[in-house]
Structure 1
Amino acid sequence: MAAPAENVMDFSVKLNEVNNEDFDNRHLYILQSLTKAFREPEFRCCVEKDVLRTMMEVLSKLFEEIRVLSQQELASDLGCLCLHLTAECFRSQRNACVQCSRNQTLMRDLGFIKVSLSHLTMLLKLQLENADRQFEAALRCGVQFLGNLAVGNQTCKDDIWMDSFPHLFLELLDHGDEKTAAYSAMVLYTCLDPNKVEDMVSHQEHQDVARKVIALCQKQPDLDWAVLIVTQHFLKSPELTEKMFAELSCPERVTLLELIAAQLGAPEEPQEPVILPRLAEFLATYFVDHCKAVLELASGPFPADTDALTITRLLDVLCEMTSDRKPFMFLQDHPTLLSSTVELLKEVHFLGKAGHSVFSTMQDFSAASSASHPAVSFKAHLVRLVGNLCHVNVENQNKVRELDGIPLILDNCCIDSNNPFISQWAVFAIRVLLENNRENQAVVQALERRGVANDSALRDMGFRLEERDGRLLLKPIRKEP
């Protein structure tokens, strides 16, 4: 193998030939050899500035060559060769700045960012029927170069951001080629910081980029870069998240809520929380303001883009937030969350009793066809949320009593295939409501004496009501040996 210095000198001469001649396949071989050489750390570290400068001149020449080609000429052998050379030029640039801050700085100073962004912008405007695979390769490698150039280099990050955001990202994140969109998410994640995120709050086009990221999460749910952008940047700005939420489609809102739920389910670490209290309060208020949308599910097949889907997923999130998680237990003091939840439970329960619907109690566990319906488990989660909001909270315990919620919850101590585990959540809620609350215990005692409370339902679940020293207790029924 030749010494690195000799290789550098050799490539300097060959690149000048590429720059001074009409393009042909021999020039492709030169660029491919350079790409391979840049894989070696020793070569990267000793490459001369003149070699990098000539590389940029080759890219600039390719830009001018492609820019003047007609639509028909782009599909010709010359057009395909120029696209192939462009892809290889970007590959060389990509490899040149891998873990090499020296080359990152040199390439920035030589103007690679502006030339590369101009080239990518031009490629995105090309309308190619049956696009050659080198067209996609050129886009992918060009975006990868920007990502490698930005890693660990704040100046490069800022320059890329200034010259490409938001217009280029609006196109790249929505590109039909999944890899191009994925690499673009990588570049965006690398360039973002708290200041840039806050700048996005006040610009509509910037918020459009944020929504593109959510849409990308929906299209490519396993794409880590897009998920990290949302969880490590967007969610830390409640104001940005609120503005996005208002503009997202319902499926995109569900995607965002699923990302929030995943963060709530992640192991707790001693670091800054991802979900801030202001965002939690916004979600609770959104639920209160829009929760009645779920009632439309009782009327028949649900449309794909309905706010009812958002509400069902949002209820899951609120249940997780209020499951004795200290950062979110302030939601117990939300002025209308508890009362809205109880009232919605009443309406859903009434609809279920009034006629056959997705809210009706069912005992047919073989009916798996409805398992994917958004209303499945909705009533059970309403009961769970009531219990969470009343946990060790006398004011809320009393509020549920005043809203006639205790008989309502007792009436849901039943087996229901549309609401798996509803009986367990109902027992949990009753225990919470009766704990150290004589007034609520008295309500259940009175219901039992009048035969209104469904004590048989409790017994079917293995529990019985027992009064001891003026207190009403739920006790397990001992099975006969």
Structure 2
Amino acid sequence: MLVDCFQQIFSKIPDAEKLLTLEICINSLKRLPEDETVTEACDMGVKYSVPDVSNVQYIAADFVSQCHHIPNLASTNGENESKMLCIVKELECLGLASSHHRHYNILQENDQLLRTSIHLLQNLEEIGHQGQNVFSNIDKVTRQAEVNTDHPVFGLKRDLIRLIGNLVYQNTANQDLVRELDGIPLILNKTTIDANNPFISQWSIFAAHNLTEGNEKNISYIAALKMEGIANNQALLDELGISAEVQGDKVFVKKQRTE
């Protein structure tokens, strides 16, 4: 009954109340320990107040249907900002929920959520390269003053990559889907500093690790990329357990041996 109530009411309440509801969900998810700890605690009768799985599924569906509005922020001045904030908060909620695979593993079965996240990230990257706008990278310390931490898109690309990284975790079908949608180069190219998206390089490395873990096709795909920049990014390759060298116009990659 409470689940049905949430889904019926959420779409009808004002944006301010939606934001409050999403903040409550986010705070609950932040307090949720690691999956293993929760399992042990539940065995001992300890209960945690967390969003119901069906409610998280509803938030995912709403994000998929509404996130096409996000690119409009490149050309608007505060219009519909509260609505945009709701969409961004939905993404943050999904990023947190998807990290708890034992509780919200059903999110990994939502291929539309993964497709939408990749397409949105691709779209934002394209817009960011079309002149200076809110989706452009800020990769120089001298431009720190340009960062607006209160803007709805602050941290948006980072949260998209976090969600993608969680959705592909130990899931071959999702790993393959990212490759098929040309999402791997997109993620590898985000392993640089961007003041608009704190820690995006770390989340990109995390996502790249999850994309290649147990997936030889994705490892081979990286090996075939004609991108010397990837081969020269030794920190990234070390994180992935990969060695690479450039021969001609190709990057040859192989798994490093572990002692």
TM-score, length-scaled by structure 2? 0.83
List alignment gaps of at least 5 residues for structure 1.
Answer: 1-197, 199-236, 476-481
Tell me the distance in 2 between the aligned counterparts of 1:316 and 1:238.
20
**Pair 1:246–1:385, CA change in 2 (3 A):** same
**Pair 1:354–1:472, CA change in 2 (3 A):** farther
Alignment-derived partner of residue 249 in structure 2: none
Equivalent residues in 2 for 1:91-170, closer than 5 Å: none
Pair 1:258-2:23 in alignment: yes
Letter in 1 for 2:53: P
Tell me the distance in 2 between the aligned counterparts of 1:340 and 1:408.
14
* Bigger relative contact order, structure 1 or 2 (CA pairs below 8 A, ≥6 apart): 2
Alignment-derived partner of residue 316 in structure 1: 92
**Pair 1:358–1:473, CA change in 2 (3 A):** farther
Equivalent residues in 2 for 1:56-455, closer than 5 Å: 198=1, 237-267=2-32, 268=38, 270-271=46-47, 273-303=49-79, 305-365=81-141, 366-367=144-145, 370-447=148-225, 450-451=226-227, 454-455=230-231
1:389·1:396 contact (CA, 8 Å) conserved in 2?
A: yes
Per the TM alignment, residue 411 of structure 1 is displaced from its structure 2 partner at its CA by 1.3
Tell me the distance in 2 between the aligned counterparts of 1:300 and 1:453.
34
CA-to-aligned-CA distance 1:99-125 (integer Å, 9 cap, x gap): xxxxxxxxxxxxxxxxxxxxxxxxxxx
Tell me the distance in 1 between the aligned counterparts of 2:188 and 2:176.
16
Tell me the distance in 2 between the aligned counterparts of 1:260 and 1:346.
28
1:444·1:453 contact (CA, 8 Å) conserved in 2?
A: no
Tell me the distance in 2 between the aligned counterparts of 1:322 and 1:444.
25
Per the TM alignment, residue 352 of structure 1 is displaced from its structure 2 partner at its CA by 0.8
Letter in 1 for 2:207: A
Alignment-derived partner of residue 254 in structure 2: 472
TM-score, length-scaled by structure 1? 0.46
Tell me the distance in 2 between the aligned counterparts of 1:272 and 1:451.
46
Equivalent residues in 2 for 1:34-49, closer than 5 Å: none
Larger Rg: 1
- Alignment: residue pair count: 236
SS at match of 1:307: helix
Per the TM alignment, residue 265 of structure 1 is displaced from its structure 2 partner at its CA by 1.8
1:352·1:361 contact (CA, 8 Å) conserved in 2?
A: yes
Sequence identity percentage: 30
Per the TM alignment, residue 335 of structure 1 is displaced from its structure 2 partner at its CA by 3.5
Tell me the distance in 2 between the aligned counterparts of 1:440 and 1:335.
18
List alignment gaps of at least 5 residues for structure 2.
Answer: 33-37, 245-251
Name the Cα RMSD after superposition. Answer: 2.5
